[in-house]
Amino acid sequence: MPVLEGKELRIVGFLCNWCSYGGADTAGVGRFNQPTDLRIIKVPCSGRIDPLFVVKALMNGADGVLVSGCHPRDCHYAEGNFYARRRLEIMHKFLPILGYEPGRFEYTWVSASEGQRWQQVVTSFTEQIHKLGPAPKIVGPEASDTLSLMQAAL
């Protein structure tokens, strides 16, 4: 569905199955109200997230990308979130090179018991994206060529 004009922006979330997805469920069960912009993609572990997923989401039209995993040392797979942290930290520096504000991307840790914390994370990240407004989009007659060029370069 197209974004609700003037009301929502497009935010993609990558959440690990064991902690953050469960945290988002806990928030739901606890009826912790949240903004509706975010759509969640479940991945087994934050270590599964290729930084290029973030870039590709933004290139394809997302206005913000949020990643959330287990707290450091509490990863279901022992060390996946450490890999995630190393890989994702770079994105804050890499995104401006592509023309995106670094604030369009955040990564954080939310455990399965932290429903209230998940509500805060979603609310503040959505506010942050709304302050930045819509992300620059690749448009015009050559948009698809540009996109495929960028895809190839990545």
Partner 1 sequence: MKIGVFVCHCGSNIEATVDTAAVAAAAREFPGVVFATDTMYTCSEPGQDEIVDAIKEHNLGGVVVASCTPRMHEQTFRRTVERAGLNKYLFEMANIREHVSWIGKDREANTNKSVDLVRMATEKLLRNRALHPKKFTINKRVLIIGGGVAGIQAALDCADGGLEVVMVEKTSTIGGKMAKLDKTFPTVDCSSCILGPRMVDVAQHPNITLYAYSEIEEIKGYVGNFEIKVKKKATYVDWKNCTGCGICMEKCPSKKATDTFNEEIGKTTAINIPFPQAIPKKAKIDPAFCTMLKKGKCGICAKVCPSGCIDYEMKDEFITEKVGAIVTATGFDLFDWTVYGEYGGGRYPDVITSLQYERMLSASGPTGGHIKRPSDGKEPKNVVFIQCVGSRDKSVGRPYCTGFCCMYTAKQAILTKDHLPQSQSYVFYMDIRATGKLYDEFTRRAMEEYDTNYIRGRVSMIYPKGDKLLVRGADTLMGTQVEVDADLVVLAVGAESSAGASELAEKLRISYDSYGFYMEGHPKLKPVETNTAGVYLAGACQGPKDIPSSVGQGSAAAAKVLGLFSKDQLESDPQVSIVDIKRCIGCGKCIQTCPFGAIKEIDFRGMVKADVIETICQGCGICTSTCPQGAVQLQHATDNQILSEVNALCQF
Residue from 9, 27, 110, 129 that binds partner 1 (CB under 8 A)? 27
Q: Would you count residue 109 as binding partner 1 (CB under 8 A)? A: no
Tokens of 80: 């996946």
Two structure tokens written together for 116: 């209230």
Among 9, 19, 67, 129, binds partner 1 (CB under 8 A): 19
Task: Tell me 75's DSSP state.
Answer: -
DSSP string of 42-81, one letter each residue: EES-GGG--HHHHHHHHHTT-SEEEEEEPPTT--TTSSHH
24 touches partner 1 by CB under 8 A = yes
Per-residue burial over 135-146, b if 16 or more Cβ lie within 10 Å, else e, is: beeeeeeeeeee
Q: Name the segment binding partner 1 (CB under 8 A); options: 79-87, 92-100, 101-109, 125-133.
A: 79-87
73 touching partner 1, by CB under 8 A: yes
Binding site for partner 1 (CB under 8 A): 1-2, 4, 7-8, 10, 12, 18-19, 21-22, 24-25, 27-29, 31-36, 39-45, 47-50, 53, 56-57, 60-62, 70, 73-80, 83, 87, 111-114, 119
